[in-house]
Amino acid sequence: MATLNDIRSTFLNYFAKQGHTIVDSSPLVPRNDPTLMFVNSGMVQFKNLFTGLETRDYNRATTAQKCVRAGGKHNDLDNVGYTARHHTFFEMLGNFSFGDYFKEEAITFAWELITKEYGIPKDKLYTTVYHTDDEAYNIWKKLGVPEERIIRIATSDNFWQMGPTGPCGPCTEIFYDHGDHIWGGPPGSPEEDGDRFIEIWNVVFMQNEQFEDGSMKALDMQSIDTGMGLERIGALLQGSHDNYDTDLFKTLIEASAHATSVEPYGDKNVHHRVIADHLRSTSFLIADGVMPSNDGRGYVLRRIMRRAMRHAHLLGAKDPVMHQLVPSLVGQMGQAYPELGQAQAMIEETLLLEETRFKQTLDRGLKLLDDEVSGLDEGAQLSGEAAFKLYDTYGFPLDLTQDALREQGREVDTDGFTAAMEQQKAKARAAWSGSGDAADSTVWFDVLDGAEPTDFLGYDTEKAEGQI
């Protein structure tokens, strides 16, 4: 059976044979790009090549890019544990043309790779095109895809954008039908969010640039940007619809089961999945220099870590768990990503320290949460004050509380949470203005303002994205 490591190599070698330069993944923290929190796709490191600001000595490239989608325009944090196909960290396999080939070649490469090299049966594949894109439609038709399997989509699903600004364009996507034993419907249908028809590959025709004022212009060059999730194609080639059934995830889940002494079956499985997923994103973020903190990127890291730690707690773990799983991750991915092994000690120490600290308040916080919830009517919201107390006294990021409540079909009054946060800040300001020491209070409010409620609430909004 081909492992994820084999499948990654097959992809890169296929495109190298087609004249593409194999380029390393960029780090997860985008260099010189304040509009983006983390690299969320393969094209990010090539942004300036699409717009013509930069040229390199190649005009075809291929990569396996580390991606994190835990904030900003593409945020899958809340999907983890609920779908079979979303991670916070994943690898995006891509091929790129910078003003070289365009639609016909890009679609043909993708089709040849998946149907010949990977040997995926054609009759399980569906494609989508942007509703006005007759050219892409006709290329698929020419390749022999039956018309009823080329679906025209008018939504942003088929117009790809990295973030609020930057290069973008219509796209065509390839889906695989995993069979009617899994719930879900084809793209464009009401059941498309299920896991039966899984999107494996997105081929973007980079031909526009979006600007901050809302305008969009045609780029001088026509380029190609594609992205295929390694874990999704891996699951498919290993005979499952579920990313967590791949060799890599099975190993991580086994490590989690071993560390917690809880078998990964039944309702416990979801906790192991979340832990395995979050282990990858937190470890790779630390390896790329992000450290847990109370704002910005560091707070996203801390939120992911603490979510994982709550799931470890739900498995009954008495001792810190996350750091024990790092060797297993390094064993799986250290060869492809040497930075992981180099940072191993740092990752383990950081996870151990964070988990040790958080454990001191986690039990009591969860107890408070239970008490609060037990007094509520079925389906009633948790008050903003209670969520704020959990945040302020017990270090529960708002989304951790939301994650905990979602299991019971409850929500948090987020407006109430923001109001409680504001109230506390106003109180703190009033107390400080009495001290008379202006210099000190400026410093203090800088710290406090770094912890604006928008930082906690807003990473899934474009507004917050722009603030980083």
Binding site for ligand ATP (CB under 6 A): 41, 69, 74, 76, 85-87, 90, 92, 199-202, 227-229, 231-232
DSSP at 26: P
Buried b (16+ CB within 10 A) or exposed e, 25-51: bbbbbbeebebbbbbbbbbbbbbebbb
For residues 232 and 273, which CB has a smaller minimum distance to Mg ion in the complex?
A: 232
Which of ligand ATP, Mg ion, none is residue 232 near (CB under 5 to 8 Å by kind)?
ligand ATP
- Please, which residues have CB within 8 angstroms of residue 71's CB and are 6 or more apart in sequence? 37, 38, 77, 300, 459, 460, 464, 465
Name which of 440 and 462 has its Cβ closer to ligand ATP.
462
Shortest Cβ distance from residue 77 to ligand ATP (Å)?
A: 9
CA distance 277 to 393: 27
The residue ranges that bind Mg ion (CB under 5 A) are 199, 202
466: number of Cβ within 10 Å: 15
Q: Output the smallest distance, CB 37 to Mg ion, in A.
A: 16
Question: Rounded to whole angstroms, how far apart are CA atoms 61 and 21?
Answer: 5
In whole angstroms, the minimum distance from the beta carbon of 304 to ligand ATP comes to 13
| Eight-state DSSP code of residue 118 | S
Give the nearest residue (CB) to ligand ATP: 229
The answer to whether 125 and 176 have CB atoms below 8 angstroms apart is yes
Instruction: For the CB of residue 228, give the shortest distance to ligand ATP in the complex, in Å.
Output: 5
**Nearest residue (CB) to ligand ATP, 28 versus 228:** 228
CB atoms within 10 A of CB 379: 9
Smallest distance from the beta carbon of 345 to ligand ATP, in angstroms?
A: 28
Half-sphere exposure of 394 (CA within 13 A, CB side): 22
Would you say 173 and 216 are in contact if contact means Cβ atoms under 8 Å apart?
no
Q: Is 302 in contact with 269 (CB distance < 8 Å)?
A: no
465 binds, among ligand ATP, Mg ion, none (CB under 5 to 8 A by kind): none
455 binds, among ligand ATP, Mg ion, none (CB under 5 to 8 A by kind): none
Q: How far is the CB of 263 from ligand ATP (least distance, A)?
A: 25
At 196, list the tokens. 């039966």
Task: Output 76 or 465, the one with its CB closest to ligand ATP.
Answer: 76
Residue 38 site contact among ligand ATP, Mg ion, none (CB < 5 to 8 Å, cut-off depends on kind): none
CA within 13 Å, CB half, 179: 7
Partner interacting with residue 399 (select from ligand ATP, Mg ion, none; CB below 5-8 Å by kind): none
CB of 76 to ligand ATP, least distance (A): 4
Distance CA 234, CA 317 (A): 31
Phi–psi pair at 19, nearest 5 degrees: 85, 15
Shortest gap between Cβ of 189 and ligand ATP (angstroms)? 14
Q: Please, which residues have CB within 8 angstroms of residue 167's CB and are 6 or more apart in sequence?
A: 43, 47, 50, 51, 206, 208, 209, 210, 219, 223, 225
Nearest to 229 by CA among 40, 466, 424: 40
What is the pairing mode between strands 60-68 and 89-97? antiparallel
> Given the complex with ligand ATP, which of 44 and 405 has the nearer CB atom?
44
Choice between 86 and 307, CB closer to ligand ATP: 86
| Residue 106 touches which of ligand ATP, Mg ion, none (Cβ within 5-8 Å per kind) | none
* Comparison of 192 and 355: residue with beta carbon closer to ligand ATP: 192
Query: 229 is in the binding site of which of Mg ion, ligand ATP, none (Cβ under 5 to 8 A by kind)?
Result: ligand ATP
Pick between residue 50 and residue 201 the one whose CB is nearest to ligand ATP: 201
Residue closest to Mg ion, measured at CB: 202
Output 199 or 348, the one with its CB closest to ligand ATP: 199
How far from chain centre, in Å, is Cα 216?
26
Give the one entry of ligand ATP, Mg ion, none that residue 49 binds, where binding means its C-beta sits below a cut-off of 5 to 8 angstroms depending on kind. none
Choose the one of ligand ATP, Mg ion, none that binds residue 252, judging by a C-beta under 5 to 8 angstroms depending on kind: none
Minimum Å distance from CB 162 to ligand ATP? 9
Number of helical H runs and strand E runs in the chain: 17, 11
User: Could you tell me which of 105, 108, 159 has the C-alpha nearest to residue 132?
Assistant: 159
Is residue 92 within 8 Å of 229, Cβ to Cβ?
A: yes
Closer residue to ligand ATP (CB): 228 or 351: 228
Shortest separation between residue 316's beta carbon and ligand ATP, angstroms: 28
Which of Mg ion, ligand ATP, none lies near 92, with the C-beta cut-off 5 to 8 A by kind?
ligand ATP
